[in-house]
Structure 1
Amino acid sequence: MGDDEGNRQLPYGAEYAKSSRASCKGCKDTIDKGALRMSLRTQSRFFDGLQDNWFHFDCFWGRAKSGINEATIRGFGWLKWEDQEKIRARCKMIEDNPNLAATPKTATPKVEYAKSGAGRCFKCKEKVPKGDPRVTFKASNYHVPCFFEDKLYTDSAEKIIGFDNLKEDEQTTIKEYLGENEEKNKPEKRRAQDEGEGSSKKKSKEETKEEREKLKAQTKILWELLEQLRTLPKDAIVALLQKNNGVYTKHGVEANLEQLADKMVFGPPTSCRNCGGNFRYSESAHGYTCTGNISEYTKCQTFVRNPERTYFKVPKELREEYPFLKDYHKTPKLDGRFYSTVVRETKIQAPSHSKHEKQFERRLAEEEKKRQVKNGCVVDPECEYAEETHVYVEKKRPWQALLSAADAASGKNSYYKLQLLKHDRHPHYYVFRSWGRVGTTIGGNKTESFHEDLDAAKHSFETLFVEKTRNEWSKRDKFQKHPRGMDLVEMDFDDRASGRKVALVPEKSKSKLDMPIKEIISIFFDTKLMDAALVEFDLDVEKMPLGKLSHKHLLNAHSVLSQLEDLIINGTENKSALLDLSNKFFTLIPHAVGMQKLPIIDNMDLLKSKTEMLDSLLEMEVAYKMVKQEQKDEENDGDIDPFDRYYSSLNCDVAVLKDDDEEVKMIKTYAKNTHGKTHNFKIDVKQVFKVNRRDENEHFRTDIPNHQLLWHGSRVTNFAGILSQGLRIAPPEAPVNGYMFGKGVYFADMISKSAQYCGSTNKADGFLLLCEVALGEIQEEKAANTEIKKPKKGYHSVKGLGGTAPDPKGTISLPDGVKVPCGKGKTMSKSQDYHLLYNEYIVYDVNQIKMRYLVRAEMNYDYSV
């Protein structure tokens, strides 16, 4: 067997034992060589893929689940006919009597009202508010919708512990989630017919007598040939495969014999018309998959049941040496492969592996404590010598590599880490490698000691690098991704960075800055908040530490999204192209999605979310560089308080305004009046700061009229970059469609519109800017227009017209002439013509922006407006 082509992951396997080394997972006795054995295929703990857990034939059936049939068993088609019939008979017994199938152990959920608001939902990671119904299941807490939408429990609501203590409407909600008004009322017999795992119909059609005879004859011909092929030496097998569009693979002798037998019986498939690659029969896919590639990131997705074929050719010398081969020279035995009805009709569901995600969460917290930075690099905590070694650095270049491979089609999401380590005190060298699935505990590692032989350690490192990437380590500056090879994730390196994550505690600071200013500095430069943002973006903090992805790497990822945007806009039917670019994006930016498949980026909503993620990463990159610079400055001059150093790096004057200040009163009125009716959360203004960016005063376009004070919201982790470098326009590499009116800086006259971009969790603080924006002549748009690169001639800004806007009668003017649209929200007279709910203002020149105020506010999502 050994064939893992195609994207189907079958839950079971069957083969003849290759040796007597394996023990049955059921009875623990040895499985004899040549005996028919069967497996449950589960996610491996040691690599990113499935592994077989082998059983004796009889021991296996106590573990088989309802829905098992020949289409769900990997390797079934290569078994002898009599053994196929034995398995079919057992499957039929389970089909006729589902009670014979293994019954998974279940847990009973418990529902109660949350005693505090501290606990978080296991699925969405948001807190469960105090007093809300909370489901506890297998030691984890869930919001009611999060729990039942995932169908973690499908039994009766009455069996849920604590169900009777809920209010009547809450009980009704849970019953609706469980579908008890219709599904639970079905007769028992009818329900049993509807259920079944992996099968399109519980009672699948049986083959006709003629079909069974075809299958039997096909199996007999293949098996008789396999018996003969086992007498051939390896060089003969290699020669026959090469002569007939085949390749000898490293999946084992039997897999190559099966590939050869298929070509001899049916004829070698012709080359793929899409990529020129070769077709190979896949027992998992029940058909022929192309082994070629459409790019360096993606294998060809072409799949056919019966490809076009040519004649099998046997070299003359082999025909003379092995007479049985003469019968197959240019003479196929069967006209195409025949498939059973069950195989043609069954829909496969891959095994569930959700338990590994929870294991990863526990370990991540432990490794955060163990992670140490030396010479600007983190020695992997899994290395047994982590505490006494450091990454070897040569000519300011570290000998370490983080490799990535992602495939949204197959579900692959792998990493490989390679480090050459040197002992802190002795000239001893080690090569450490770790591998696995991103965002999980799945994987393994190995540390190899080379004692004092640095050259041998380097050679080992270089050999592994070539093996995994097909690139020379010495030529890594010109790295080229190759098909089936892993990609190099480009990381920033700073040998002076300490990597310390020291919490900034305002109360312990000796700085003379006002306490509110020290508080916001402690928030803006909180690396734990930055790490939390990475996790929220589904990024792997462990494999991709904060601040390590290079600026160039992030811009490359933006370019990939731009290419995806072109495909989506043009409505391409080329799914392979969408898959290819999605694979490239997720390889460049490793995502921790647990056991879920990576998505194909084929819609604007997903494209926009990934664009916003990259924008935030670019902002956080600025903040993290400031953190690293502060650490270096502290080493050089530890007498200056870190809060003073951070404040200086902001390049921005910040002053605290008192609550009774007229400017604060104006801002609170502006906030109160401009909360949209569709935004169901409350915004409480806690503190207002007056800000003055020195560079903005010098370049601000005072020659453009019509200045208004407008809102701009952003994630808290972005504000260090925003205050120090100003609001910026998206880079040229970014896709246009991530922005409703093209690439510009966006503002709103409704606070809740801007507050949506703060990314705040419930009852957490968010930050908004109030900026003086030189709007000049405004180009008005009734609907989104992503093609806008700058306003039309004679205009200075663009306004997306919204159906609700501040009442113009409430607009006031500040002493310097700046207008504040702080009237109460009002439905506009022509709102039915507008596609937007609220106004958006866009400028395409950052010199039309001057920051005036920074507003700190609490977002309360338990509140209905």
Structure 2
Amino acid sequence: MQQQAPPKKRGRAPAKAKDSPVDDDDEDVPPPPKKAPGKGKGKAKATDTKDEDEVAPEASEAISKDNQFATTDNLVVPVDETCPLSSRGWRVYIDDDDGIIYDASLNQTHSSGNNNKFYKLQILTDGRQFRTWTRWGRVGANGQSAQLGDGSLQSAMKEFEKKFKDKAALTWSNRAGAPKPGKYVFLEKSYLPSDDEDEDEDQAGLADVKPGRSRSTSPYNKCTLAPEVAELMKLIFNREHMDSVMADMNYDVEKMPLGKLSKATITKGYDALKRLAELFDDPDLATSHHGMATVREATEHFSDLYYSYIPHNFGRNRAPVISNHEHLKKEVEVLASLADLKDADKIIKAGKDRSSGHLLDSQFQSLGLQETTPIDRGTDEFSHISDYLINSRGSTHGHEYKLLDVFRIERQGEIDRFERSHGKRTASDRRLLWHGSRSTNYGGILSQGLRIAPPEAPVSGYMFGKGIYLADMASKSANYCNSYASGGHALLLLCEAELGDPMQELVDASYDAGDDALAKGLLSTWGQGAVGPALWKDASCVHPSLAGVQMPDTVTKPPGDTTVLDACLEYNEYICYNVDQVRLRYLLRVKM
């Protein structure tokens, strides 16, 4: 069934404003997925057969909890950047009675039809007149636009609600309902006041701070940070690097700035990926659970749904169908990175809002670290860590390191949490292990700690289940740093991890490893590799506080063959299934 044709009658636009062509959908809308024959278990999901006006289960509750309501009286929602009315004092209309914000972003991807498009709706007012502003086109382009209505609020609301229903097949009051096949999805956005200030400048992160140059909130204040810490802040909150990372992920920051990206939207993205993972494991679900004719059709449907919730810019290219576990895992990593980037974005905005002090000082304070001590290069502490980095490089990895800085770090409250959970454990196995991530993720990591994927994330995106993944070979963790997107710079963590004794030992992937370990009363999984440390030593040689923690002795005996039979991994992996098991100890800034 094709989308209804748009109304041909348009309201008059204000003087000097030019309306775009009447046709506001530049690409064909695909028909809804076909239902499977009604045999056996081949029943369609209830959401597939409802009337478009029927409220989905729990929809009323969902609406009451969505972000479409103003939380402050002085909230200012940015007018669409291409709208000519934005420079003439017009603003987004917010209902005085119930606080509903009349601003909607819709997205639709249909890979087989090479459709990847957006539709934006806003009611705008100058205090006297009201217009519905619409803009539509392919993701990554400005597209076309139109102004609707006769100037009255009643007309503007009628046009807004009609367009929303035309595009989403949902009423505006039921915007939180389940998305309809072949229609646009509604993207729930965050409307926190700080998210809407200076959006153009903040949407990709820090505006102008680059390595070697900083910006102050006041030109008369000097940075009070140690030079090494200042350079660390410049790396973590670098706008160019954030831009590069998001471009590498094909994420369209123009259509969904980080400050606008809501937790609910990320959750819906995870849910679409989870449905795909279930299909990969059980293709029969396509007909028995989702009511579609083929697994290919169901796969494309949920792949398209994911791209609709999480806008990707593929230019004029067709959106690639997420059809295997490898591609699925990449998109799971995209969502995890977006959550960390969103945290960094909040810190950047908080720093900008402060009226005094240097920006780098503000960013550092927002991380809330209890300790960040640069380690002198001439100390044994620096030397032991450098040896661990340089000598735990796998032969299959081509990394060349230059260790720039080492920081001894402590997150606020992390030691208490760690000791409270595991301080009295008798069957203990504590190790000093590596963790790598993009430099742009560290605003989230340092402020929130290492996190485990949420329940909505597909377990098949993780080789040994959802957990915190650590390594005893630095080069394995360095592979996850993606230093090419940050000017060849990388950040690596050394973590103290309570693995428990014994660990669950596996030589092959198991998506259920986390559940299996917990069922056995075990804390972690050891994914055994073919190459690993030949000798371990007490880490008190690095710092007295690490007494009782083991680390590889790579100087006395370098890593080598482990003699583990049938190991599918080249190198060891250690997976902790509770965040309480991991304590951040050192942060390394490395040139690769």
* 2:429/2:499 contact within 8 Å kept: yes
* 2:505/2:528 contact within 8 Å kept: yes
In structure 2, the CA distance between the partners of 1:739 and 1:431, relative to structure 1 (3 Å rule), is same
The one-character-per-residue Cα deviations of 1:50-84 (angstroms, maximum 9, x if unpaired) are: 8xxxxxxxxxxxxxxxxxxxxxxxxxxxxxxxxxx
Instruction: Measure the CA separation in 2 of the matches of 1:431 and 1:551.
Output: 27
Partner of 1:459: 158
Partner of 1:378: 78
Instruction: Measure the CA separation in 1 of the matches of 2:182 and 2:231.
Output: 49
Task: Find the partner of 1:492 among 163, 187, 190.
Answer: 190
Partner of 1:850: 583
Q: Over aligned residues, Cα RMSD in angstroms?
A: 2.9
Aligned letter for 1:587? S
Instruction: Measure the CA separation in 1 of the matches of 2:244 and 2:352.
Output: 21
Partner of 1:759: 482
Instruction: Measure the CA separation in 2 of the matches of 1:770 and 1:578.
Output: 39
Instruction: Measure the CA separation in 1 of the matches of 2:128 and 2:240.
Output: 36
Task: Find the partner of 2:573 among 817, 825, 840.
Answer: 840
TM-aligned CA deviation for residue 720 of structure 1: 1.1
Q: Secondary structure at the match of 2:479?
A: helix
Instruction: Measure the CA separation in 2 of the matches of 1:621 and 1:297.
Output: 33
TM-aligned CA deviation for residue 849 of structure 1: 1.1
Partner of 1:668: 386
The one-character-per-residue Cα deviations of 1:684-722 (angstroms, maximum 9, x if unpaired) are: 211111101121111112234222111000111211111
In structure 2, the CA distance between the partners of 1:475 and 1:581, relative to structure 1 (3 Å rule), is closer
Partner of 2:314: 593
Task: Find the partner of 1:564 among 276, 281, 290.
Answer: 276
Instruction: Measure the CA separation in 2 of the matches of 1:621 and 1:809.
Output: 39
Q: Secondary structure at the match of 1:771?
A: strand
In structure 2, the CA distance between the partners of 1:644 and 1:461, relative to structure 1 (3 Å rule), is same
Q: Is residue 99 of structure 2 the alignment partner of residue 399 of structure 1? A: no
Task: Find the partner of 1:49 among 16, 27, 33.
Answer: 27
Partner of 1:730: 453
* 2:107/2:187 contact within 8 Å kept: yes
Q: Is residue 492 of structure 2 the alignment partner of residue 768 of structure 1? A: yes
The one-character-per-residue Cα deviations of 1:590-632 (angstroms, maximum 9, x if unpaired) are: 2211222222222110110011111111222222233333444
TM-aligned CA deviation for residue 560 of structure 1: 1.8
In structure 2, the CA distance between the partners of 1:767 and 1:397, relative to structure 1 (3 Å rule), is farther
TM-aligned CA deviation for residue 494 of structure 1: 2.0
Partner of 1:785: 510
The one-character-per-residue Cα deviations of 1:192-238 (angstroms, maximum 9, x if unpaired) are: xxxxxxxxxxxxxxxxxxxxxxxxxxxxxxxxxxxxxxxxxxxxxxx
Partner of 1:679: 397
In structure 2, the CA distance between the partners of 1:533 and 1:640, relative to structure 1 (3 Å rule), is same
TM-aligned CA deviation for residue 428 of structure 1: 3.6
Gaps of 5+ in 1: 6-44, 51-248, 250-271, 277-292, 299-373, 860-865
* 1:654/1:691 contact within 8 Å kept: yes
TM-aligned CA deviation for residue 831 of structure 1: 4.6
In structure 2, the CA distance between the partners of 1:409 and 1:666, relative to structure 1 (3 Å rule), is same
Q: Secondary structure at the match of 2:108?
A: strand
Aligned letter for 2:493? L
The one-character-per-residue Cα deviations of 1:60-114 (angstroms, maximum 9, x if unpaired) are: xxxxxxxxxxxxxxxxxxxxxxxxxxxxxxxxxxxxxxxxxxxxxxxxxxxxxxx
Q: Secondary structure at the match of 1:646?
A: helix
Gaps of 5+ in 2: 4-22, 39-43, 50-73, 285-293
Q: Is residue 451 of structure 2 the alignment partner of residue 718 of structure 1? A: no
Aligned letter for 1:432? W
TM-aligned CA deviation for residue 440 of structure 1: 3.7
TM-aligned CA deviation for residue 450 of structure 1: 4.5
Instruction: Measure the CA separation in 2 of the matches of 1:545 and 1:415.
Output: 14
TM-aligned CA deviation for residue 730 of structure 1: 0.9
TM-aligned CA deviation for residue 735 of structure 1: 0.8
Task: Find the partner of 1:510 among 222, 230, 239.
Answer: 222
In structure 2, the CA distance between the partners of 1:383 and 1:829, relative to structure 1 (3 Å rule), is closer
In structure 2, the CA distance between the partners of 1:392 and 1:523, relative to structure 1 (3 Å rule), is farther
In structure 2, the CA distance between the partners of 1:427 and 1:825, relative to structure 1 (3 Å rule), is farther
Q: Is residue 144 of structure 2 the alignment partner of residue 439 of structure 1? A: no
Instruction: Measure the CA separation in 2 of the matches of 1:627 and 1:591.
Output: 24
Task: Find the partner of 1:647 among 333, 355, 364.
Answer: 364
Q: Secondary structure at the match of 2:463?
A: coil
- Listed as ranges, the matches of 1:113-512 within 5 Å are 274=36, 375-388=75-88, 389-395=90-96, 396-423=99-126, 427-440=128-141, 443-448=143-148, 450-451=150-151, 453-476=152-175, 478-496=176-194, 497-498=196-197, 499=199, 500-501=201-202, 502-504=207-209, 505-506=213-214, 510-512=222-224
* 2:514/2:525 contact within 8 Å kept: no
Instruction: Measure the CA separation in 2 of the matches of 1:486 and 1:4.
Output: 12
Instruction: Measure the CA separation in 1 of the matches of 2:432 and 2:559.
Output: 18
In structure 2, the CA distance between the partners of 1:590 and 1:296, relative to structure 1 (3 Å rule), is farther
Q: Secondary structure at the match of 2:514?
A: coil
* 1:780/1:801 contact within 8 Å kept: yes
* 1:295/1:580 contact within 8 Å kept: no
Q: Secondary structure at the match of 2:277?
A: helix
Q: State the structure with more CA Rg.
A: 1
Partner of 1:549: 261
* 1:674/1:822 contact within 8 Å kept: no
* 1:506/1:515 contact within 8 Å kept: no
Partner of 1:520: 232
Q: Secondary structure at the match of 1:445?
A: strand
Partner of 1:688: 406
In structure 2, the CA distance between the partners of 1:774 and 1:645, relative to structure 1 (3 Å rule), is same
Instruction: Measure the CA separation in 2 of the matches of 1:459 and 1:519.
Output: 53
TM-aligned CA deviation for residue 776 of structure 1: 2.4
TM-aligned CA deviation for residue 768 of structure 1: 0.9
Instruction: Measure the CA separation in 2 of the matches of 1:432 and 1:809.
Output: 65
Q: Percent identity?
A: 33
* 1:405/1:486 contact within 8 Å kept: yes
* 2:328/2:461 contact within 8 Å kept: yes
Instruction: Measure the CA separation in 2 of the matches of 1:519 and 1:449.
Output: 53
Aligned letter for 1:506? S
Partner of 1:577: 298
The one-character-per-residue Cα deviations of 1:448-499 (angstroms, maximum 9, x if unpaired) are: 4745x333222222222222223222443x4342344321111111234413
Aligned letter for 2:580? N
Higher mean C-alpha deviation, range 461-470 or range 743-752 = 461-470
Q: Secondary structure at the match of 2:251?
A: coil
Instruction: Measure the CA separation in 2 of the matches of 1:690 and 1:666.
Output: 13
Aligned letter for 1:841? Y
* 1:702/1:774 contact within 8 Å kept: no
Partner of 2:552: 821
The one-character-per-residue Cα deviations of 1:94-146 (angstroms, maximum 9, x if unpaired) are: xxxxxxxxxxxxxxxxxxxxxxxxxxxxxxxxxxxxxxxxxxxxxxxxxxxxx
Instruction: Measure the CA separation in 2 of the matches of 1:584 and 1:49.
Output: 17
Instruction: Measure the CA separation in 2 of the matches of 1:295 and 1:622.
Output: 36
Moved over 6 A (4+): 293-298
TM-aligned CA deviation for residue 667 of structure 1: 1.1
Instruction: Measure the CA separation in 2 of the matches of 1:598 and 1:696.
Output: 42
* 1:657/1:689 contact within 8 Å kept: yes
TM-aligned CA deviation for residue 810 of structure 1: 7.1
Partner of 1:29: none
- Listed as ranges, the matches of 1:47-86 within 5 Å are 48-49=26-27
Instruction: Measure the CA separation in 2 of the matches of 1:591 and 1:294.
Output: 27
Q: TM-score, normalised by structure 1?
A: 0.54
The number of residue pairs the alignment matches comes to 498
